[in-house]
Structure 1
Amino acid sequence: MTFSAPAPTQLDPVVRHLYVHVPFCPSICPYCDFHVLTRQAGLVERYLERLEQEAAELAAAYAVDLDTVYLGGGTPSFLRDHELRALVESVQRHLGWGRAENTLEINPGTVSTERAALWRSLGFDRASVGVQSLDDATLKFLGRRHDARQARDAVSRLIAQDFRVSGDLITAVPGQPLDSDIHGLVELGVGHVSAYTLTIEPGTEFARRGVQVDEDAEREGFERTEELLAGHGFSRYEVSNYARAGQESRHNLSYWQGKTYLGLGPGAAGHYPVPTPGADALTLRRTNPHLHDWLVGQQGETLLVDPHEYVTDALFMGLRLRRGLDLADLTRRSGVDVAGRYGLVIERQVRLGLLEHSGTNLRATAQGWWVLNRIVREFMEVDAAETA
């Protein structure tokens, strides 16, 4: 089977989203495999100096007009007040600030009324709070340093400061009272919930201990979470994310919709436009090195993304959304005739009940979400067959 070369694309040349990675944590959770570390004397100061340099470099390299900013980690709220202020000022000085949404990831143990007011005054309007559970035994098993009372108190203080609050939950934890966790979060007044199944990643403390997640418990948690949150007026808009109307994460939607975004800080990933998009490269993905290499200016891993790779990435991310994605829009952005190129795969997956195709919209069914990697692998096999 042969395919025509991609047509001219219509990608937005302006980058409108920024992710900033703050790698410092008060302690390392036993399930965590992100780039995180505890603070050491002088290390945060060096981090802030290098962050300012990198922000200037990104501003010089790309056209930037930000809609969203997201500070993740790590524990950004673990930074001292003057450190977080300096970070925000560096970003604003070189890259601006998000017009639509600015999110700060927060550990419940770092929240006070005064600090919440400061964060709000710095320009953050959305808080992603690492609640994980409202059960003390579950929190202890997960290695969290806060307790349920602190989590409830943190959410209440942030809502009182007019934050849009998202609560993170980990599900499929042995002995976890999931129903009371969800009811408790909703009663606190959050407008968004991110619910992630406990995953045992290689190299983590849980992996070394031999902790395992029961597959039946994973499926039960996946389904029960949606059932309970739907009963409270939350819609599952992405595989792991639920929101009341208008409370969706605008920043994370940029990832799932295949938009470009800047990655600032050690270990941060970015998805960048290239000066002249074409068949050889439509966009560029880059992941920064870890802290000590990043501090001395070493370059991270860089991957040029051609139009077909851009499409399969967009399919994988877009099919995570309940509403799916618009194939005509993806064709416009990539220059690839998506419906024509992958038509046989789409038809097969529709027959299997894993995808739904209506007009130009393609979405995964509930069963399709469970095997999304397998579905996207079939799209990639079409590209492999062309180059064989």
Structure 2
Amino acid sequence: MPAPQSPVRHLYVHVPFCPTICPYCDFHVLTRRAGLVEKYLAGVEEEAARLADRYAVDLDTVYIGGGTPSFLRDAEITALAQSIRRHLGWGRLENTLEINPGTVSAGRAALWRDLGFGRASVGVQSLDDATLKFLGRQHDARQAREAVTTLARQGFRVSGDLITAVPGQPLESDIRGLVDLGVGHVSAYTLTIEPGTEFARRGVTVGEDDERAGFEQTEALLTAHGFTRYEVSNYARPGQESRHNLAYWHNRTYLGLGPGAAGHYPAEGRWQKAEGGRQKAPLTPHPQPTAHNPPLTLRRTNPHLHDWLAGGRGEVQPVDAEEYVTDALFMGLRLREGVDLGDLTRRSGLNVSERYAAAIAANVGRGLLTLEGELLRATPQGWWLLNRVVTEFLEV
């Protein structure tokens, strides 16, 4: 049998508002219009209360992302933080706010700190003005540098986002610039052209050779400056890893709050509070399990803003033991530490080493995975080909 679930430890909150929509962005974002933010904040208050009423919550981390959470006005971000605290509490270990460099001032940074945020994820993307212009960013390199410096002075743990494989990008200069600013964490993502984005409509492409060069050069430069590549796209100085994102990569359960937010919940109300010896009804109807393949967890995605405000329920996907394992492998193999197959067996109730022995052996033989005892890791080549590796597990 799978191991029993503990209370929810992690919360993601989605703020969908942005000053402009970047040409590469395919997230649920929109520009603010009169009255929309007020309705959003009222909706967060209501949804947070519903979650608190139904689930036992004991948070380690809170992550407010978007969109551009720092685009909210001071009174708005204060109201958002107060709603979360009032109903769900606050993270004991880490509380992160995503920040656009153009929204930072010393006064605003002090407010965010007073609200309880200790980690800032800053959308630097590049420290080259021509690259920022190509990416459609509204800030320039000077603003990015000043934002990181201001946040560090306020005592934030600062992470800098970086986009790689951008045509004409001086990647080495970008990386050295971030290092010189003193960030403790870097998230480096390859420019990806998603369907429906402005870049896709323009016919912008990214060559595989450019992707691979950015992938390898980023690691070489950051590791030379004392950063560890602890996940495929994330680098940290010792102790600066993102505790919240590690919950995703370890395939842990977490709540999603706000329009477009995704959550990962245990099935069958394992977090639900009891009242009079009976469980309360789930937040959304659970798909009916089958006798032979009951869901182990549920993945729930909230609808976009207007449907969310109208009370839409979004999508609920049941995750059985096998899908839970393949999800955990796909996420966990992104980590340098890899996946403990014994722990995954205990969590899923499925004997992972036996069930996927052929896929493990085949990828070890190709040099894409290593297996030491029950610890399964991706090699550098395996990281690059991770989608192909996990496909073999799905086809078993």
TM-score using structure 2 length:
0.94
Paired AA for residue 75 in structure 2: H
| Inter-partner Cα distance in structure 1 for 2:138 and 2:354 | 52
| Inter-partner Cα distance in structure 2 for 1:199 and 1:305 | 28
Q: How does 1:193-342 map to 2 (within 5 A)?
A: 193-275=186-268, 279-342=293-356
Q: Who is 1:23 aligned against?
A: 16
Query: Any unmatched runs of 5+ in structure 2?
Result: 271-288
TM-score using structure 1 length:
0.95
Shift of residue 233, structure 1, vs aligned partner: 0.2
Pick one of 124, 127, 132 that aligns with 1:134: 127
Q: What secondary structure is seen at the aligned counterpart in 2 of 1:213? A: coil
| Inter-partner Cα distance in structure 2 for 1:343 and 1:11 | 26
| Inter-partner Cα distance in structure 2 for 1:12 and 1:230 | 37
2:113 pairs with 1:120? yes
| Inter-partner Cα distance in structure 2 for 1:23 and 1:301 | 18
2:175 pairs with 1:182? yes
Paired AA for residue 214 in structure 1: G
Shift of residue 150, structure 1, vs aligned partner: 0.1
Q: How does 1:43-54 map to 2 (within 5 A)?
A: 43-54=36-47
2:152 pairs with 1:159? yes
| Inter-partner Cα distance in structure 1 for 2:154 and 2:339 | 35
| Inter-partner Cα distance in structure 2 for 1:282 and 1:206 | 39
Query: Any unmatched runs of 5+ in structure 1?
Result: 1-7, 383-388
| Inter-partner Cα distance in structure 2 for 1:97 and 1:270 | 17
Q: What secondary structure is seen at the aligned counterpart in 2 of 1:10? A: coil
Aligned residues: 375
Paired AA for residue 334 in structure 1: S
> What's the % identity of the aligned pairs?
75
Q: Who is 1:72 aligned against?
A: 65
2:339 pairs with 1:346? no
Paired AA for residue 91 in structure 1: I
Q: Who is 1:368 aligned against?
A: 382
Contact 1:134 1:181 in 2 (8 A): yes
* 1:36-94 deviations in Å (ceiling 9; x for gaps): 00000000000000110000111122111000000000000000000000000000000
Q: Who is 2:279 aligned against?
A: none
Q: What secondary structure is seen at the aligned counterpart in 1 of 2:362? A: helix
* 1:2-50 deviations in Å (ceiling 9; x for gaps): xxxxxx1114331100000000000000000000000000000000001
Q: Who is 1:3 aligned against?
A: none
Q: Who is 2:74 aligned against?
A: 81
Paired AA for residue 148 in structure 1: A
Q: Who is 1:5 aligned against?
A: none
Q: What secondary structure is seen at the aligned counterpart in 2 of 1:179? A: helix
Contact 1:11 1:334 in 2 (8 A): no
Contact 1:13 1:273 in 2 (8 A): no
Contact 1:256 1:318 in 2 (8 A): yes
What is the RMSD of the two structures over their aligned residues, measured on CA atoms?
A: 0.9
* 1:323-348 deviations in Å (ceiling 9; x for gaps): 11100000010000000110111011
Which deviates more from structure 2 when the two are superposed, residues 356-365 or residues 273-282? 273-282
Q: What secondary structure is seen at the aligned counterpart in 1 of 2:395? A: helix
Paired AA for residue 37 in structure 1: L
Paired AA for residue 234 in structure 1: F
| Inter-partner Cα distance in structure 1 for 2:267 and 2:211 | 40
Q: Who is 1:37 aligned against?
A: 30
Paired AA for residue 181 in structure 1: D
Q: What secondary structure is seen at the aligned counterpart in 1 of 2:342? A: helix
| Inter-partner Cα distance in structure 2 for 1:11 and 1:193 | 35
Q: What secondary structure is seen at the aligned counterpart in 2 of 1:19? A: strand
| Inter-partner Cα distance in structure 1 for 2:209 and 2:71 | 36
* 1:322-375 deviations in Å (ceiling 9; x for gaps): 111100000010000000110111011000000000011001111111221121
| Inter-partner Cα distance in structure 2 for 1:136 and 1:348 | 46
* 1:229-268 deviations in Å (ceiling 9; x for gaps): 0010000000000000000000000000010000000000
Q: Which runs of 4+ in 1 moved over 6 A?
A: none
Shift of residue 275, structure 1, vs aligned partner: 2.9
Paired AA for residue 25 in structure 1: C
Q: What secondary structure is seen at the aligned counterpart in 2 of 1:13? A: coil
Shift of residue 276, structure 1, vs aligned partner: 6.2
| Inter-partner Cα distance in structure 2 for 1:359 and 1:160 | 45
